[in-house]
Amino acid sequence: MVAEVIQRNEARRRARCPPQFCAKCGRGGPDVRLVQDHIVGLAAGGLDVVANLQWLCDNPCHAAKIKREQAAGPPRILGARMY
């Protein structure tokens, strides 16, 4: 119960203070635009929750991920490729 509350507060804190670095390549700084990304895309059945969010640099990491997801085509039946 208490642990759940702490976890929720931590999740809120993280959502308010985006990290300064790309989760994939680690780049950061004023020249790097970070975008919030769903680790498992919503189209692939990913949830819109903090645990499924990460910050990626707009280019190339996020752009490459979008391209990969588009190349993979429509999602298969839920659960088939999750793990």
Write the Ramachandran bin of 22: left for phi over 0, alpha for psi from -120 to 50, otherwise beta. Answer: beta
Question: The tokens of 40 are what?
Answer: 């498992």
* Nearest to 69, CA basis, from 27, 38, 23, 36: 38
Question: Nearest approach, Cβ of 44 to Zn ion (angstroms)?
Answer: 20
**Rule CB under 5 A: which residues touch Zn ion?**
22, 24-25, 57, 61
CB nearer Zn ion, residue 28 or residue 75: 28
CB nearer Zn ion, residue 6 or residue 39: 39
Question: Nearest approach, Cβ of 59 to Zn ion (angstroms)?
Answer: 8
